[in-house]
């Protein structure tokens, strides 16, 4: 683990590798077809163990919820205040916590977004921007 606090493991490496390549991927259970993020070795739906594939995402989704932070609770974010943290539901179903590259005043529930990976903290993070 480096100063980012992000630990890339054998389980999460396909996720981080796809982001480094400008794409997003999620896990899909071979037993029940459930799709999920973040990475885990057990399907959260049927509890199948190590029975999944990594599936490429379209990169499209919509905002489910968001918050704007006006205080940096970690020094790494001090220069970014105020910054948003959003929950985006991918077109394929999985949800993830992310950041939106748009003025905070323009964010609303249902806002259509596209993946806009952003290098930060020595990795590429899954950020989003309003759909074009």
pLDDT in tens, 97-106: 999 999 999 9
Asked whether residue 101 is assigned to any structural domain, the reply reads yes
Asked whether residue 28 is assigned to any structural domain, the reply reads yes
Asked whether residue 3 is assigned to any structural domain, the reply reads no
* pLDDT of 4 higher than 70: no
Asked whether residue 5 is assigned to any structural domain, the reply reads no
Asked whether residue 17 is assigned to any structural domain, the reply reads yes
What's the token pair of residue 125?
Answer: 């993070």
Asked whether residue 90 is assigned to any structural domain, the reply reads yes
* pLDDT of 2 higher than 60: no
What is the per-residue pLDDT across 112-126, written as a single tens digit (0 to 9) for each? Answer: 999 999 998 889 999
Record the pTM.
0.91
Contact 96, 102 (CB under 8 A): no
What is the CATH number for 72?
2.40.50.840
Size (the chain), residues: 132
Asked whether residue 36 is assigned to any structural domain, the reply reads yes
Asked whether residue 7 is assigned to any structural domain, the reply reads no
Contact 14, 54 (CB under 8 A): yes
Q: Residue 72 sits in which domain range? A: 13-130
Domain count within the chain: 1
d(CA 90, CA 113): 9
* pLDDT of 20 higher than 70: yes
What is the per-residue pLDDT across 60-76, written as a single tens digit (0 to 9) for each? Answer: 999 999 999 999 998 88
| Confidence at residue 3, expressed as pLDDT on a 0 to 100 scale | 57
């Amino acid at each position: 683990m480096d100063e980012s606090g992000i630990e890339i493991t054998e389980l999460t490496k396909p996720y981080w590798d796809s982001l480094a390549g400008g794409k997003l991927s999620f896990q899909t259970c071979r037993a029940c077809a459930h799709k999920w993020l973040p990475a885990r070795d057990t399907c959260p739906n049927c509890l199948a163990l190590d029975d999944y594939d990594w599936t490429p995402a379209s990169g499209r989704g919509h905002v489910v919820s968001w918050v704007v932070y006006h205080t940096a609770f970690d020094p790494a974010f001090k220069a970014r205040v105020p910054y948003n943290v959003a929950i985006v539901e991918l077109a394929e179903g999985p949800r993830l916590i992310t950041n939106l590259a748009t003025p905070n005043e323009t964010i609303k529930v249902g806002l259509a977004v596209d993946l806009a990976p952003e290098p930060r903290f020595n990795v590429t993070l899954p950020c989003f921007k309003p759909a074009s």
